[in-house]
Chains A and B, each alone.
Chain A
Amino acid sequence: MSIDWITVAAQIANFLVLVWLLRRFLYRPILDGIDAREAEIAKRMQAAVTAKEQAEAAQTEYQNKVQALHVAQSEMTETIRKKAEEQRDALLAAAREKMDAEHSAWQAHLDAKARDYAAKLHGAGAAALLSLTRKALGDLADESLEARMAHHLVQQIKPMAKDLIGAAGQAAGAVITSHSPLPPATQDALTAELRTIMPDVSLRFEVDAQQAPGLVLRLGGAQVEWTTDSYIDGLDAMIIDQLTKNSDTKVHSHGD
């Protein structure tokens, strides 16, 4: 065991060279690489943090937009609903008005139909009644309907002669109109009867085809009528009265 001082010196030199070599090729590259990588990692982490913040900001903005859209959607839905309700109400009101109008028109049509039917019934009834009455009077009593109606008219006028003369005022002529020309005998009999009641009044006979069968006496502003229409009007009133009584009875019976 001995120390070779030349070798010692050489080994010191070798060691110093090795320190330099390792510093140049090992420590510095490795440590600088680690530092650079740490800096790169820090940079990337910072970039990631920035990106995350941007993403969070974008998310917040998106959520706000979504919230605003939801609010706008709700408002729009509410507006549309209100408009729809208004439009529905308007349509319903228009439909109701239209239905009322159609109902009124239909009711008017029904009334017109009813009136028309009643008029036809009235006419047909009057014609049938007149025909039957005329035939019955002719066959059974050898009497004409016009003569009996003229006699009846005179009987009606008698109680109201004073009123009739008062209503006639200064008029000096009376007019008797009929649906068909009166037989001369009937005219004479009627003239004779009326002269006993109103001796100062001249009498004139006219024919009006539009008039219902019967007689109408016009004296100035007064008028006395005895026609099948007035008779059937009275008959209608009686029938309606009877029908009303029957319906009340039915209602009461149903109510019971």
Chain B
Amino acid sequence: MNLSPDQTIMFNAWGLPINATIFYTWIVMALLTVVSILITRNLRADVPPNRWRTTLEVIVQGIQGQIEEISGGPSRHLLYYAGTLFLFVAVSNLLLVVPGFEPPTSSLSTTTALALSVLIAVPMFGISSRGLCGYLKTYIEPSFIMLPFNIIAEFSRGISLAIRLYGNIMSGAVIAAILLTVAPFFFPVVMDALGLLTGMIQAYIFAILATVYISSATASSAKVEKDIP
């Protein structure tokens, strides 16, 4: 039994082995892109939106509302990033119910990649917001003695993000697989339903935590002090 889809080679392309993680990631990407293209084509302001476009608007505006609540203001770049994180993780986890589909988020490589991307995005958003010096200054606040602790905290965030998501999704998939072997008629269904709920919650938590980290890096020092009780 393979615990990670990284070990499953689906096919070779240009001499490179394509494992299940990458393959199913592409499927999720294609699904999201094609659905988006199909729904958002021929958009006109003077035509009332149909149900699909309304659904997408609700999703996008819901994500935007959550981000604005956390960051305190609209930010399209943060929406692109955190929204994509949420949609990718959520759709990957929802496709758990499709027979034969292995969620990319059940791979530690995927969650590590996402955590690394958050780890890189936080300083990038912080530098773009505060400038290089302003961002680096946050590492020695409130005192330069806190520099190592701040660096450790920065990396621990990424590690916790990666492990949390991987552990939840992988455990759900593994438990479902084990129960399918032991009691193939009832428990896998229950576990899959539970896995859907867990997957959505994990997607929400992952995106929210990423938004919080990025918002704390981009927020002004005065606001940060104000937010601290």
Tally chain B residues at the interface, Cβ within 8 Å. Answer: 44
Would you give the shortest CB distance from A13 to chain B, in whole angstroms? 9
- B40–A30 touching, CB < 8 Å: yes
Decide yes or no: A12 and B4 within 8 Å by CB, A7-B19, A25-B36, A31-B76 being known contacts: no
- A27–B80 touching, CB < 8 Å: yes
List residues of chain B with CB within 8 A of the CB of A14: 22, 25-26, 29
Cβ of B6 within 8 Å of any chain A Cβ, yes or no, is yes
Chain B residues numbered 103-121 whose CB sits less than 8 Å from any CB in chain A = 104, 107-110, 112-114, 116-117
Nearest B residue to A25 via CB reads: B36
List residues of chain A with CB within 8 A of the CB of B117: 12, 15-16
- B45–A40 touching, CB < 8 Å: yes
List residues of chain B with CB within 8 A of the CB of A29: 36, 40, 43
Would you give the shortest CB distance from A4 to chain B, in whole angstroms? 4
Decide yes or no: A18 and B81 within 8 Å by CB, A1-B4, A3-B109, A25-B40 being known contacts: no
Would you give the shortest CB distance from B109 to chain A, in whole angstroms? 4
Measured CA separation A21–B83 after assembly (Å): 12
Cβ of B57 within 8 Å of any chain A Cβ, yes or no, is yes
What band does the interface of chain A fall in when counting residues whose beta carbon is under 8 Å from B? 20 to 34
Cβ of B88 within 8 Å of any chain A Cβ, yes or no, is yes
Measured CA separation A19–B112 after assembly (Å): 17
Would you give the shortest CB distance from A145 to chain B, in whole angstroms? 133
Cβ of A33 within 8 Å of any chain B Cβ, yes or no, is yes
Cβ of B32 within 8 Å of any chain A Cβ, yes or no, is yes
Would you give the shortest CB distance from A1 to chain B, in whole angstroms? 6
Grouping DSSP codes into helix (H, G, I), strand (E, B) and loop, the B interface class, with mixed when no group exceeds half, is helix
Cβ of B37 within 8 Å of any chain A Cβ, yes or no, is yes
- B22–A11 touching, CB < 8 Å: yes
| Contact partner, B110, options A11, A17, A21, A31, Cβ 8 Å | A11
Interface string of A9-51 (1 = CB under 8 A from B): 1111011111101110111011111101101100000000000
Interface string of A190-211 (1 = CB under 8 A from B): 0000000000000000000000
Grouping DSSP codes into helix (H, G, I), strand (E, B) and loop, the A interface class, with mixed when no group exceeds half, is helix
Cβ of B69 within 8 Å of any chain A Cβ, yes or no, is no
Would you give the shortest CB distance from B58 to chain A, in whole angstroms? 10
- A7–B109 touching, CB < 8 Å: yes
| Contact partner, B116, options A1, A8, A27, A37, Cβ 8 Å | A8
Cβ of B46 within 8 Å of any chain A Cβ, yes or no, is yes
Cβ contacts A to B, 18 pairs, < 8 Å: A1-B3, A2-B4, A7-B110, A11-B22, A11-B107, A11-B110, A11-B114, A12-B113, A15-B88, A15-B114, A15-B117, A16-B117, A22-B32, A25-B36, A27-B60, A27-B76, A33-B43, A33-B57
> What residues of chain A have their CB less than 8 Å away from a CB belonging to chain B?
1-5, 7-12, 14-19, 21-23, 25-27, 29-34, 36-37, 39-40
Other A-B pairs, 10, CB within 8 Å; known A11-B113, A26-B40: A1-B3, A1-B108, A3-B109, A11-B21, A12-B116, A18-B88, A19-B80, A25-B36, A27-B76, A33-B49
> What residues of chain B have their CB less than 8 Å away from a CB belonging to chain A?
3-4, 6, 19, 21-22, 25-26, 29, 32-33, 36-37, 40, 43, 45-46, 49, 53, 56-57, 60-61, 64, 76, 79-81, 83-85, 87-88, 104, 107-110, 112-114, 116-117, 170
